[in-house]
């Protein structure tokens, strides 16, 4: 039986892929490109690591896909697991096309039935969950962050050096600008407070923060609140193009509940919504909803909770 190869340039995600690969009942080979520390961490998690070093630019999707294609052929693997972060998603289509492989991205769950790998992903903008599998021999599967736990340290790992043919790049990096990253991850929140456009003014945020604090929760937001209003970093976005959260409780403030948002909180055990519009879609998917103006409710709630 052919094997499974994993690759992500993000080490945390590469470790998650090892866990996913473990489900497939096949030999697992972990590829690592120009990242000695990652190779070591994957080895410590018990993986057979193949480390590629050379003049490769991670920014050149074609080049990375070419390395993966060559490695897959040399290592005799049919299934390639990638991370479905931005880098991984861009890579997956290019690699799949090189291999004439079927490809699924943003995979939220995997079920292995014998030789078939059934994957769940959102469809119709999140309105539905599709169960899909790939029919071609070669398969490229890009798995969403945090679907699997990172592989724990284990024995029996190894690092092998692996050489590939160099290719010419038509993409050059002129500058890299780090983004300031959050120290918290809303995907880990037990209690999640979601700020939507209905919060209306920044003057309401201190009350939201105070309520979050009294509930021991983290504050996330709908997409326009981060991308248009810039109240929060994009890491705080809940939903299809942000974080999928499954908190114990979610308090949703002034979010209409379009599908792309709703997929991000569907996993909450309890969903509570406050919205001035009785017919907002979010109310029909809530356990508790309150029809009210947040400008009135937030100060009162803050006082009552403190």
Q: Phi and psi (nearest 5°) for 158?
A: -150, 155
Phi then psi for residue 119, to 5 deg, are: -120, 145
User: Could you tell which of other proteins, ligand FAD, none binds residue 161, using a CB distance below 5 to 8 A set by kind?
Assistant: none
Instruction: Print the SS3 string covering 279-299.
Output: CCHHHHCCCEEEECCHHHHHH
**Residue 277 makes contact with ligand FAD by CB under 6 A:** yes
Whole-number Å distance between alpha carbons of 53 and 264:
38
Select the residue interacting with other proteins from 215, 231, 246, 295 (CB under 8 A): 215
295 binds, among other proteins, ligand FAD, none (CB under 5 to 8 A by kind): ligand FAD
Q: Tell me if 52 sits within 8 A of 76, measured CB to CB.
A: no
Tokens of 111: 């079920």
Beta-strand relationship, 116-123 and 109-113: antiparallel
Q: Which does 157 bind (CB under 5 to 8 A by kind): ligand FAD, other proteins, none?
A: none
Among 73, 123, 154, 184, binds other proteins (CB under 8 A): 123
The residue range among 15-23, 27-35, 134-142, 149-157 that interacts with other proteins, by the rule CB under 8 A, is 134-142
Region near other proteins per CB under 8 A, out of 28-36, 152-160, 200-208, 234-242:
234-242
The CB-based long-range contact list for 275-278 (8 Å cut-off, 24+ gap) reads: 275/198, 276/198
Identity of the residue, 1 or 170, whose beta carbon is nearer to other proteins in the bound complex: 170
Task: Identify the residue among 293, 300, 303, 304 touching ligand FAD (CB under 6 A).
Answer: 293
Q: In this chain, which stretch among 37-45, 132-140, 147-155, 156-164 interacts with other proteins, using CB under 8 A?
A: 132-140
Helix (H, G, I), strand (E, B) or coil at 236: helix
Is 59 a residue that touches other proteins (CB under 8 A)? yes
Query: 262, 283 in Cβ contact below 8 A?
Result: no
The footprint of other proteins on this chain (CB under 8 A) covers a number of residues equal to 87
Q: Which helix (H) or strand (E) holds 68?
A: helix 61-75
Using CB under 6 A, which residues numbered 210 to 269 contact ligand FAD?
222-225, 237-242, 254-256, 258, 260-261
Q: What whole-number distance in Å separates Cα of residue 282 and Cα of residue 171?
A: 44
Closest distance between other proteins and the C-beta of residue 161, in Å? 28
Q: Among 42-50, 152-160, 195-203, 263-271, which window interacts with other proteins (CB under 8 A)?
A: 263-271
Q: Rounded to the nearest 5°, which phi and psi values hold at 86? A: -60, -45
Which of 37, 177, 201, 202 lies at the binding interface for other proteins (CB under 8 A)? 177
CA 232/CA 284 separation, integer angstroms: 27
Radius of gyration of the chain (CA): 22
106 is a site residue for other proteins (CB under 8 A): yes
**Binding status of residue 163 toward other proteins by CB under 8 A:** no
**By CB under 8 A, is residue 16 in contact with other proteins?**
no
Determine the straight-line distance between the first and last CA of the chain, rounded to whole angstroms: 61
Binding other proteins (rule: CB under 8 A), the pick from 73, 74, 131, 184 is 131
| Minimum distance from residue 217 beta carbon to other proteins (Å) | 7
Q: Note whether 200 binds ligand FAD by CB under 6 A.
A: yes
Contact between 272 and other proteins (CB under 8 A)?
yes
Nearest by Cα to 267 from 209, 150, 215, 189: 189
Does 195 bind other proteins (CB under 8 A)? Our answer is: no
């Amino acid at each position: 039986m052919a094997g499974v190869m994993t690759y992500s340039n993000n080490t945390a995600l590469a470790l998650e892929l090892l866990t996913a690969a473990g489900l497939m009942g096949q030999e697992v080979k972990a590829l690592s490109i120009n990242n000695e520390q990652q190779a070591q961490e994957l080895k410590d998690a018990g993986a057979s690591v193949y480390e590629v070093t050379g003049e490769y630019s991670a920014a050149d999707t074609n080049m990375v896909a070419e390395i993966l294609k060559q490695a897959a052929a040399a290592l005799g693997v049919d299934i390639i697991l990638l991370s479905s972060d931005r880098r991984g998603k861009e890579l997956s289509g290019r690699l799949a096309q090189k291999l004439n492989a079927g490809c699924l991205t943003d995979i939220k769950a995997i079920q292995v039935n014998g030789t078939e790998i059934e994957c769940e992903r959102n469809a119709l903008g999140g309105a539905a969950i599709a169960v899909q599998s790939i029919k071609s021999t070669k398969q490229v599967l890009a798995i969403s962050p945090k679907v699997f736990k990172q592989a724990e340290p284990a024995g029996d790992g190894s690092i092998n050096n692996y050489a590939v043919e160099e290719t010419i790049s038509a993409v050059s990096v002129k500058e890299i600008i780090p983004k300031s990253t959050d120290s918290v991850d809303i995907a880990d929140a037990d209690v999640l407070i979601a700020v939507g456009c209905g919060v209306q003014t920044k003057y309401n945020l201190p009350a939201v923060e105070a309520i979050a604090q009294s509930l021991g929760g983290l504050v996330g937001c709908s997409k326009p609140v981060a991308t248009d209003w810039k109240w929060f970093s994009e890491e705080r976005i809940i939903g299809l193009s942000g974080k999928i959260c499954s908190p114990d409780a979610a308090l949703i403030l002034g979010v209409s509940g379009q599908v792309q948002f709703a997929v991000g909180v569907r996993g909450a055990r309890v969903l509570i919504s406050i919205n001035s519009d009785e017919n907002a879609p979010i109310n029909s998917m809530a356990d508790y909803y309150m029809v009210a103006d947040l400008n009135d409710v937030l100060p009162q709630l803050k006082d009552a909770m403190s």
